[in-house]
């Protein structure tokens, strides 16, 4: 039976060291702590950075655990708990608004739809659970980006354009996200698809951290006549977001 692979053992030791440290570590600190040659430690760290398990600060050169590794440990439970908590509230939202309901989380620079409730009518519809949507062009995405500066940095440039109303300028997007944070909801009007609009609000977990978003989507004439969501629809979406947040252990926000 083959023995352990030394490089994997050393990489695991580096990850454990970084996880136990209260601050990012320099290359020499990693090498000395694990009794590794500086070149060996550098090669391992470079590989871990490339796969996203470790991040290196561009200014100091120090290393810390990366977002990809942190997400591996939390995404499965978080997404499934979010979905299970949202089930009891998404269906009533669809019934009361007459619109499709989506619950989403950030996945890189996109929104992963973790739950989707069909619009309650007889029109043909497609299951969207598991779909990836561009964060900057959707109401769900704007809510999530507004509370995650690191995700905004991952968007890159130029931003993809889907319609003539898509925000492709980073400064315009930043201003839009600031407004989302101020009012605690987001709207997108023909930014992803002509004739379609969406409204979304943040779902919070313990400590008030935004862990997802819930929203409705439908025709512009219903969701955003004259470009503004009706107060009744906004209230229903916001109430649903608060209810799911309460299920997740969040205290009342605002």
Q: What is the pLDDT of residues 90-123, one digit of tens each?
A: 999 999 999 999 999 988 788 988 889 888 877 7
List pLDDT tens digits, range 114-129. Answer: 889 888 877 777 777 8
> What's the pTM value of the predicted model, to 2 decimals?
0.68
What's the CATH number for 6-65?
Answer: 1.10.10.10
Closest by CA position to 87, among listed 106, 105, 101, 107: 101
Q: How far apart, in whole angstroms, are the C-alpha atoms of residue 170 and residue 187?
A: 17
pLDDT for position 171: 87
Residue 192 has φ and ψ, to the nearest 5°, of -110, -35
| CA–CA separation, 21 and 76 (whole Å) | 25
Which CATH architecture describes the domain 70-247?
Answer: 2-Layer Sandwich (3.30)
pLDDT tens for 174-225 read 899 999 999 999 999 999 999 999 999 999 887 788 889 999 999 999 998 8
Q: pLDDT tens across 129-172, in order?
A: 888 899 999 999 999 999 887 777 778 778 889 999 999 888 88
How do the domains of the chain map onto residue ranges? Answer: 6-65, 70-247
């Amino acid at each position: 039976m083959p023995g352990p692979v030394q490089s994997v053992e050393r990489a695991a030791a580096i990850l454990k060291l970084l996880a136990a440290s209260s601050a990012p570590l320099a290359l020499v600190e990693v090498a000395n702590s694990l009794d590794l040659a500086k070149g060996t430690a550098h090669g391992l760290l470079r590989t871990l950075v490339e796969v996203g398990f470790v991040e290196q600060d561009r200014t100091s050169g120090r290393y810390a655990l990366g977002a990809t590794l942190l997400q591996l440990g939390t995404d499965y439970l978080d997404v499934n708990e979010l979905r299970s908590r949202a089930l009891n509230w998404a269906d009533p939202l669809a019934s009361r608004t007459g619109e499709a309901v989506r619950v989403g989380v950030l996945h890189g620079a996109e929104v992963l739809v973790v739950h989707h409730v069909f619009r309650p009518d007889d029109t043909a519809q497609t299951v969207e659970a598991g779909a990836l949507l561009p964060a900057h062009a959707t109401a769900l995405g704007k809510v999530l980006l507004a509370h995650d500066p690191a995700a905004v940095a991952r968007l890159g440039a130029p931003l993809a354009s889907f319609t003539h109303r898509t925000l492709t300028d980073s400064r315009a997007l930043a201003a839009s996200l600031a407004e989302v944070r101020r009012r605690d909801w987001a709207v997108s009007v023909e930014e992803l698809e002509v004739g379609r609009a969406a409204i979304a609000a943040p779902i919070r977990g313990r400590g008030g951290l935004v862990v997802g978003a819930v929203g409705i989507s439908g025709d512009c004439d219903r969701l955003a006549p004259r470009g503004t969501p009706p107060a009744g629809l906004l209230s229903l979406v916001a109430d649903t977001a608060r209810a799911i947040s309460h299920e997740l252990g969040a205290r009342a926000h605002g």
